[in-house]
Structure 1
Amino acid sequence: MNPFGTAVASLFILAAIPAAAQENVVNIYSARHYQTDEALYGNFTKLTGIKVNRIEAGENELLERIKNEGINSPADVFITVDAARLAKADELNLFGPTNSTLLAERVPANLRTDDWYAFSTRARVIVYNKVAMNPAEIQTYDDLANPRLKGKVCVRSGSHPYNLSLGASFLAHQGEEKTSAWAKGMVSNFARSPRGGDTDQIRAVAAGECGVALANSYYVARLMRSDKPEDRKAMSSIGIVWPNQATTGTHVNISGGGLLKNAPHKQAGVKFLEYLASDQAQVYFADGNNEWPVVTSVKISNPALEQMGKFKPETLNVGVLAKNQNEVQKIYDRAGWQ
């Protein structure tokens, strides 16, 4: 039997149990697929006594399921990565209010909206081949569109949320005309047609297939912490640039979640979200999955993040990033960034 179907069936059974018998349960639909998150869920149950039932799948599949389940949905909390995906759930009117003073105090204002919250961040950095490139020439995202980099830029698809969110940031800071020019310049500089994920871009830079690439910081940190000789060799060839340090700061995206409007266990759902903003959970995000905590007072111990050093992040509200996505996709399509 399909394990996903089994899990969903079990949650429908749970939904039929009287509320009093379920008060120590929270049902989570998660599009985060990291083994290290197991510690998050286990620790929450240990601290609160609340059992976690979890379904993992792609965000589109989960959102469609929640929408179709309607008021009978057993899901309490939706978790995913990237502001665009959380905004999609918001557009579908799936989230409900948490009314949590703790979350308002712990999560910075630019990393939350009225209905959903960021719990970890990752930066969109420039990686470069230390032999082939001069880092002084690639200090901003704008520099990636400079004609001097013709044939040297590797990047994943323009339809991927990571790049859409970066474009949304660019659009917010510089407007449509400059964003369009930047996208066209990027396409002119491609070393190859966009393909693969961020790790593939990093490996291509290390191999000399291209000189520079865009990658989310946690992919870089993951390779830095790898025990595989080939990964260590690749990273010895790679340098990292925090873009736009003299201006708007490096683009930052998020992983986050929110309480669902039809959550049958609202109190447990809010407790889980509040737990994700706790010091313990924030450390799991950082040390376990190479992401930065959103709670700035939290102390972490991740050698890769420490080696990458401190940087100036942008401070755009994540809701702004989400709202600009559709326009950015049109700009990328016109530029030929497929």
Structure 2
Amino acid sequence: MRFALISTSILAMAAPAFAEEVNVYSHRQPALIQPLIDAFTAETGIPVNIAFVDKGMVERLKAEGDRSPADLVLTVDVARLGEVKDAGVTQKIEDPTLDAAIPADLRDADGQWYGLTTRARIVYASKDRVKDGEVTTYEDLADPKWKGRICTRSFTNDYNVALTAAYLAHHGAEATKTWLEGVKANLAKKPEGGDRDQVKSIWASECDISLGNTYYMGAMLKDDEQKAWAESVRIVFPTFEGGGTHVNVSGVAMTKSAPNKEAALKLVEFLAGDEAQKIYAETNNEFPIKDGVARSELVQSWGDFTADTTPLSEISALRPEALKLIEEVNFDG
């Protein structure tokens, strides 16, 4: 397990404590969240200590139990939020401020976690080889016209499991299995790498379309090597038939132990507020979750879309069945 600390960490139990502080275990890379933490501390005077836990978050919290110094978990994807909830290491947050700021479909129905930003699971399409309007729905991806033209990372990856679970919510198990078989038949090569690797493959003419998260476009444009990959594609916002574009979240949950519950709640409220939402938008190329907060100029340039309204708590609950179907068709094989 990789375990790195940033800020003046007091997560070791023997270290001295501040009168008021917040301790966070985070799946998110430190560079993505440090500007938010700095802004919170500047406004409130409350120090925040962050432990970057790349793997084994649930196992760590279970092992620490009631002695855990962690107040909050910050993570990406509804899958990981669902994991900490299902493991019984979180507690319900009851807060009218959060309920007013965060739409009901983007938070846990039981109040165990709240989304903080969204990203869409979209199609990256070759500007040269894919016409406008050639792909419009997720269902389209199983059309034989795409045979040998699709690239994707592993479908057992959290992002693709969530997309499959959303498909399952819309169409049921039989249709989802058929769809998975159809998409697999259209692959240009065996699934491998990450979302950016698929865009590189489009740039290299190895395939014509791929699945990816929106914010990777911003990341690629900032990288001297990857900028050419990004400029070879355009973003397409597919929808489910009868629905919208699949979105996922980064989010937060309060641990069951939470030794600094009051200060931790202040941080969660801050992260859902206008200032933090604007920082998220500008720094990470994500969509603010709170209405009225503007997207960054780059994100606005990608165009508007209608987000699917299937509750993410429902999608999270369908993940085990979705993964089972992915394995049944041996998608990555």
TM-score (norm 2): 0.94
> Aligned with 2:94: secondary structure?
coil
Whole-Å Cα distance in 2 between the matches of residues 50 and 133 of structure 1? 51
> Aligned with 2:75: secondary structure?
strand
Whole-Å Cα distance in 1 between the matches of residues 298 and 150 of structure 2? 25
Equivalent pair of 1:128/1:135 in contact (CA under 8 Å):
no
Equivalent pair of 1:245/1:311 in contact (CA under 8 Å):
no
**Which residue number corresponds to residue 155 of structure 2?**
158
**Which residue number corresponds to residue 308 of structure 1?**
302
> Aligned with 1:122: secondary structure?
strand
Match of 2:70 among 65, 69, 75: 75
Q: Where do residues 147-296 of structure 1 align in structure 2 (5 Å cutoff)?
A: 147-224=144-221, 226=222, 228=224, 230-244=225-239, 247-296=242-291
Matched, 1:12 2:30: no
Whole-Å Cα distance in 2 between the matches of residues 88 and 281 of structure 1? 25
Task: Tell me the amino acid that sits aligned with residue 257 of structure 1.
Answer: V
**Which residue number corresponds to residue 44 of structure 1?**
40
Match of 1:336 among 325, 330, 333: 330
| Per-residue CA distance 1:61-94 (angstroms, 9 max, x = gap) | 1221111000000000001000011000000111
Whole-Å Cα distance in 2 between the matches of residues 29 and 288 of structure 1? 20
Task: Tell me the amino acid that sits aligned with residue 43 of structure 1.
Answer: A
Matched, 1:120 2:117: yes
Whole-Å Cα distance in 2 between the matches of residues 41 and 5 of structure 1? 14
Q: Identity of aligned pairs, percent?
A: 36
Match of 1:322 among 302, 316, 322: 316
Q: For residues 8 and 285 of structure 1, do their structure 2 counterparts lie closer, same or farther at Cα, with a shift above 3 Å needed?
A: closer
Matched, 1:298 2:296: no
Equivalent pair of 2:3/2:53 in contact (CA under 8 Å):
no
> Aligned with 1:299: secondary structure?
coil
Q: For residues 8 and 231 of structure 1, do their structure 2 counterparts lie closer, same or farther at Cα, with a shift above 3 Å needed?
A: closer
Whole-Å Cα distance in 2 between the matches of residues 8 and 316 of structure 1? 40
Count how many residue pairs are aligned between Structure 1 and Structure 2: 329
Task: Tell me the amino acid that sits aligned with residue 324 of structure 2.
Answer: K
Equivalent pair of 1:78/1:257 in contact (CA under 8 Å):
yes
Task: Tell me the amino acid that sits aligned with residue 101 of structure 1.
Answer: P
Equivalent pair of 2:6/2:51 in contact (CA under 8 Å):
no
Structure 2: tracts of 5 or more residues without a match:
none
Whole-Å Cα distance in 1 between the matches of residues 134 and 254 of structure 2? 44
Q: For residues 287 and 8 of structure 1, do their structure 2 counterparts lie closer, same or farther at Cα, with a shift above 3 Å needed?
A: closer
Matched, 1:27 2:23: yes
**Which residue number corresponds to residue 84 of structure 1?**
79
Structure 1: tracts of 5 or more residues without a match:
none
Q: For residues 9 and 279 of structure 1, do their structure 2 counterparts lie closer, same or farther at Cα, with a shift above 3 Å needed?
A: closer
Equivalent pair of 1:245/1:312 in contact (CA under 8 Å):
no
Q: For residues 3 and 143 of structure 1, do their structure 2 counterparts lie closer, same or farther at Cα, with a shift above 3 Å needed?
A: closer
C-alpha RMSD of the superposition: 2.0
| Per-residue CA distance 1:8-33 (angstroms, 9 max, x = gap) | 9941336x75xxx6341100000001
| Per-residue CA distance 1:156-188 (angstroms, 9 max, x = gap) | 001100000000100001111111011001111
Whole-Å Cα distance in 2 between the matches of residues 257 and 111 of structure 1? 11
Matched, 1:143 2:137: no
How far did 1:303 drift? 2.4
| Per-residue CA distance 1:107-152 (angstroms, 9 max, x = gap) | 1111111110000000001111122222423111111111111111
Q: Following superposition, which runs of at least 4 residues in structure 1 exceed 3 angstroms of deviation? A: 2-10
Whole-Å Cα distance in 2 between the matches of residues 93 and 33 of structure 1? 24
Task: Tell me the amino acid that sits aligned with residue 299 of structure 1.
Answer: A
How far did 1:233 drift? 2.6
